[in-house]
Amino acid sequence: MRVLRRLKPTRLVYFASIIGSLSLWHFVATRYFEPAFFPGPLAVLEAALELIASGELGQHVSSSMARIAAGFLLGSAIAIPVGLLMGSNRFVRAMLDPYSEFFRFVPAIAWLTPVVLWFGIGEISKVLIIIYTTVFIVLINTVVGVANISPNKLRAAASLGATPFKTFVHVIWPATVPFVLTGMRLAMGNSFATVVSAEMIAADSGLGFLIYNSRLWMATDHIFVGIICLGALGVLADRVFRFLITRFAHHYGPAI
């Protein structure tokens, strides 16, 4: 009872919602469906424990997360400086804007077949697809961040004798950081979606491979294990990202 008193009402609602959903899932699965078509939470938990004991689930999780981390970090590292240049220099923006506007509407999965033909089915092709899906989200948000800087701030910095470098460090970058972080957070979600698509088509490991391959022997419980792992890892990655923002970037202003 003491533990319940210490919990905030929103926390209680949060956990009650999860418990209610699990209960509803169990009721519907056991009452209206066969386990092969819609397994209940206990069946999925049992399958997860089997996959963990065999080491198979750990292998799939590590493969997917390694690809996501590599593609997400490399894509962000490319998009941020390019976005800052496009936002700060109208000639650079005029030169690159047609390409960013065109390619951001082409889904990453559309490039999967050409990339596999060019680079094979190894790790490079999957990482490149995640880089592609990351770049344009972070890029657009960075450009918007620079464009939203008040001209009065730039004039004030110039009137005080600030060099272009100091203006960037003390005005442009701090004002853009919240937009950059928002773009990175959105891109992280897209990276999870993209890696699943890539692993379903060209991979021999990963959560996408687990989900797609399990259909061959109607292992629906394994499919649900892969889906739940993706959701849980996504929530965890988002929580870590929000913690890092709060811990290291709060002084730049509200980000997300």
- Give the pLDDT of residue 6: 60
Is residue 40 helix, strand or coil? coil
Same domain, 24 and 145: no
- Looking at the structure, tell me whether residues 88 and 8 fall in a common domain: no
**Predicted pLDDT of residue 65:** 92
Domain count, the chain: 2
Tell me, yes or no, whether 114 and 152 share the same domain: yes
pLDDT at 181: 87
Q: Are residues 51 and 106 in the same domain?
A: yes
Q: Residue 4 is part of which domain span?
A: 1-32
What is the C-alpha separation between 96 and 93, in angstroms, rounded? Answer: 5
- Given this model, what pLDDT does residue 253 score? 53
How many other C-beta atoms are found inside a 10 Å radius of the C-beta of residue 88? Answer: 18
Residue type, 78: I
CB 239 within 8 A of CB 228: no
Q: What is the pLDDT of residue 256?
A: 47
- DSSP at 139: H
Please identify which residue in the block is written with the tokens 């590599």: 70
| pLDDT at site 249 | 61
Whether residues 221 and 98 share a domain: the answer is: yes
The angle, 0 to 180 degrees and rounded to 10, between the axes of the packed helices 41-54 and 56-88 is 90
pLDDT computed for residue 255 by the predictor: 47
Residues of the chain with pLDDT under 70: 1-8, 247-256
Render pLDDT for 7-29 as a digit per residue (tens, 0 to 9): 567 778 888 888 888 899 889 88
Tokens at 172, concatenated: 């442009």
How confident is the model at residue 18, as a pLDDT? 86
Polymer length in residues for the chain: 256
Please, what sign has the CA dihedral across residues 150, 152, 158, 161?
Answer: negative
* pTM value surpassing 0.75: yes
Residue 80 sits in a domain whose CATH number is 1.10.3720.10
